[in-house]
Chains A and B, each alone.
Chain A
Amino acid sequence: MYRQAPRLLIRALDGGRGGRLIGRAFSTDVPAASVEDSAFVEAWKKVAPNLEPPKTPLSFMRPRPPTPSSIPSKLTVNFVLPYQSEISNKEVDMVIVPATTGQMGVLPGHVATIAELKPGVLSVHDGNEVTKYVVSSGFAFIHANSIADIVAVEAVPVDRIDPSLVQKGLADFTQKLSSATTDLEKAEAQIGVDVHSALNAALSG
């Protein structure tokens, strides 16, 4: 009989917990999440005071790091590629990421955001030095505690791009775009044009 108790209790509490979660404030206002589910433990102790309450999924999760009450002065950036880690835990003043919605500047204290990246230039600003990378595509996760995680499939410093290859590619794909027939060909040609024009802008900007 007691074997079914955790399953039934979790199901009974899910409605309550789910309802409360929807009414919760934004992550910037919430303190670090607790590891133990106190409501569940209390309900368990009422039903089975002599048994140890089982661990719920919440206790296996690491608590969300607390949002500092005052805005930190520096942004911590992690920039990783599948084959290496470009920037790891570096404290900088600002990063500008090429989001699909446009170039997005991220300062310390930025609201928590997930941004999909388009092919473009990522620039990291620290004091007077600016490091620029050309990013092929990826995502940027900005957390409420001023940590930015940027993941990209391919990213190179701008000086490793060959301008003549970019011009040639742009001309090729523009021509392919005008002669494309099927939807898929058009999409591929459009991607080619997008990437090469972004590379072009990166070289000149």
Chain B
Amino acid sequence: MDPSVMQNPELASIINQEQQRAMVNEMVGKLTSACWDKCITSTPGSKFSSSETACLSNCARRYLDMSMIIMKRFQNMQ
């Protein structure tokens, strides 16, 4: 392969796009795992209760809230 391939902007764009997608997938994966543990405390049923659904949804949002707080506070520590 021609070494100038590495400077190829199309290649860089493809890789960057997949990188973004992979980061989103990782976030969803980690959050689902953590929120499952927090919210689904009993044996899985044939559907979620409304409190389980709400818990899962809240869990993701609160994680984002927390993330912001940590970022801001950390910046203040510098």
Chain B binds chain A: no
Q: Which residues of B contact A (CB under 8 A)?
A: none
